[in-house]
Amino acid sequence: MRRATSTATVASVASVVSVALVVLACVKDPVTGKRELILIGESEEIAMGQQGSADVEASMGLYQDAELSAYVEELGQSMAQASERPHLPWQFRVVDSDVVNAFALPGGYVYLTRGILAYMNSEAAMAGVLGHEIGHVTARHHVEQMSKQQLAGLGLNMGTVFFPEVRPFGDILGSGVGLLFLKFGRDAERESDRLGVRYSLGQSYDPTEMARFFAVLARLAGPERQVPSWASTHPDPQDREATILALVSEHSAGRENLRTGAERYRRLTEDLIFGANPREGFMRGSRFLHPELEFQLEYPEGWNVQNTQRVVYAAAPDGGASMQLTVSRVAPGTAPEMHARDFFRQNKLEYGTGERLRVGPFSAYRAPFRALTRTGELYGEAGFVADGDHVYEILGLTRRNAIRFYAPVFQDVIESFDRLRDRSALEIEPQRIHWVQASRNVTLREALLEAGADSNGLEDLAVLNNLGLDAGLNQGQWIKVLERGSP
C-alpha cells in the first residue's frame, strides 16, 4: 500500500476501457501481410493503450530507479523501431511489483515487473522477453482477440491482479484495479516467440538467453511453487524453452558473435529490490505494519491479508466477510466525518448514523453502511481515520444475515488503528539483488554459503541463478545473492 497522490479514492483509480465500434474492415496484418477482419482501427488501439497505461501506472506504480528505467526504455525502443510498426507511440516501463510478469497493452505500451528482472541474468534475456511482447503488438494480437470476443461495447476482458480469496464480494468502491492484458491462443504465443527471436537477432542478441529464461520460469512453476503470473497468461514455459531453441537453430545458423550483455545487466540490476517491499506494508503475526506511513492495525487471527499497491484486502477464513483499507489525500485538518460523507456519496453507498471517536492518537469517525453490488446486497461498517493530510478508509462488509456477528469484528479492527512506534518495523528494509563472484572453483552451494546466504534459502537462490546447487562454478563467475533487510 502506498501514500495517496490525489484527493480521489485510491481504490477507484482504474477504469474499464470501452471501445467504440468502428467500421468493419479487412486489415492487412503488419507481420504476415495477410488480410484479416478487424473491428478496431489503429487510432482506437492506441487510445486503449493510453488509457490502460494510465490505469496500470496508477494502480501498480513504476519502479523508482531512473538508470534502470532508461535502460529498459532504450533497449525496448531499439527493438521496436526495427519492427513492422515503428510509428506507434512505444513506451517501455518497469512496474514496482514482485510478481514475475511482462505484458503489453494495445498500441505499444510494454511493461516488465521488477520481479521478472530479478530472475533474468542478461540483457539478451530481457531483449527476448521484450521482443516477445513487442510481437504481440506488431501482430495486433490484442485487437484480433477483442474482435473475436462478443463483449458489450467490445470492452477489454480485464484480468484482476488481486487474489479472489481476499475479495469474496469483489470491490465495492467503483471499479476494481485491473491490468489490461489478454490471454492469447497458442498460435499467437508461437508467433510472438518467433518474432521475439527475430527481433533479438536483429539487434545481435543471443536468443538462447531467452530460452534459458524460460527454464527459470519452468522451475518457478514447479509443483511446490506458486505459478508466476507470466505462466498464468502464457503457455507452459517448459514447452516454450524447446520451441525457442528450435527457432534459434533455424534462424541463427551461421551467426557469430551474438551478444548477451551480461555485464551491463549485472551493473544495472545491482541493488534491485527483490520480493515484497516491506517499506510499503507487511504482516507481523496478525498485525499489518506500514513503516512509510507509520501506522499499524490488527486483523482477526486467521484472516487472509493481501497487501497491494493501493489497497489492503483481508478476508475471514470462511469467506463470510472481507475488509479493505485505502488512503486518500485531503486538505490538512479535514474532519473525518466530512471526508466520510464525501466518500459515501462518491461511491454510492447508503450510510446510517455514525459516531466520532479516538483511535490511538487520531480523530476518527465510524458509521454503518449498505452497498448494492453485482453479488447482491451487502452490509458493513466503515471507519475513517484522519492523519494530517491523509484519511484512512477502513471498510468491512458481509451479507445481511451475518452483519450482527461481524459488525463488532469490523469495529475492533477499526479501533486497533494506531501509530507505529516499533523501531525494528520502522527501519525495516527490503531484500535486494547483489552480484558476487566465486572466489575459486566451487559449487553453487559452496559459493552461496561463502557469500553468507541462509542455508534454508539455498534452493530459492539456485532458481534465482538458474543453476543447480551442485553445479560447478569457475573462479570469477558471477552469481546473485540477496542482501538482507533489517529483521
Q: How close are the terminal C-alpha atoms of the chain, in Å?
A: 20
Interval 89-106: pLDDT, tens: 999 999 999 999 999 999
Neighbour count for residue 265 (Cβ, 10 Å): 23
Neighbour count for residue 419 (Cβ, 10 Å): 12
| pLDDT above 80 for 58 | yes
Per the listing, cell 506494508 goes with 281
Interval 315-327: pLDDT, tens: 999 999 999 999 9
Tell me the average pLDDT across 343-355. Answer: 95
Tell me the average pLDDT across 345-369. Answer: 96
φ/ψ region of 469 (left if φ > 0, alpha if ψ in -120 to 50, else beta) reads: alpha
d(CA 472, CA 55): 45
Confirm if 307 and 282 have CB atoms less than 8 A apart.
yes
| pLDDT above 80 for 414 | yes
41 or 101: which leads in pLDDT: 101
d(CA 183, CA 233): 5
User: What mean pLDDT value characterizes the chain?
Assistant: 85
| pLDDT above 60 for 387 | yes
| CA angle (74 as vertex; 68, 76 as ends), nearest 5 | 105
| pLDDT above 60 for 10 | no
Residue burial 224-251, b: 16+ Cβ < 10 Å; e: rest:
eeeebbbbebbbebeebbebbbebbeee
d(CA 401, CA 47): 45
- For residue 224 the three cell numbers come to 511446490
Q: Any alpha helices (H) in 270-415, and if so which ranges? A: 336-346, 403-415
At position 39, the amino acid (one-letter code) is L
Residue burial 96-127, b: 16+ Cβ < 10 Å; e: rest:
bbbbbbbbbbbbbbbbbbbbbbbbbbbbbbbb
The CATH code that applies to domain 278-426 is: 3.40.1000.10
DSSP E strands in 250-375: the ranges are 273-274, 282-284, 287-290, 295-298, 304-307, 312-315, 321-329, 350-351, 355-359, 362-373
CA 413 to mean position of chain CA atoms: 27
d(CA 297, CA 413): 7
Phi (first) and psi of residue 243, to 5 degrees: -60, -45
pTM of the model: 0.81
At position 26, the amino acid (one-letter code) is C
Pairing of strands 431-437, 478-483: antiparallel
Neighbour count for residue 276 (Cβ, 10 Å): 17
Interval 242-291: pLDDT, tens: 788 888 878 776 677 899 999 999 999 999 999 999 999 999 999 999 99
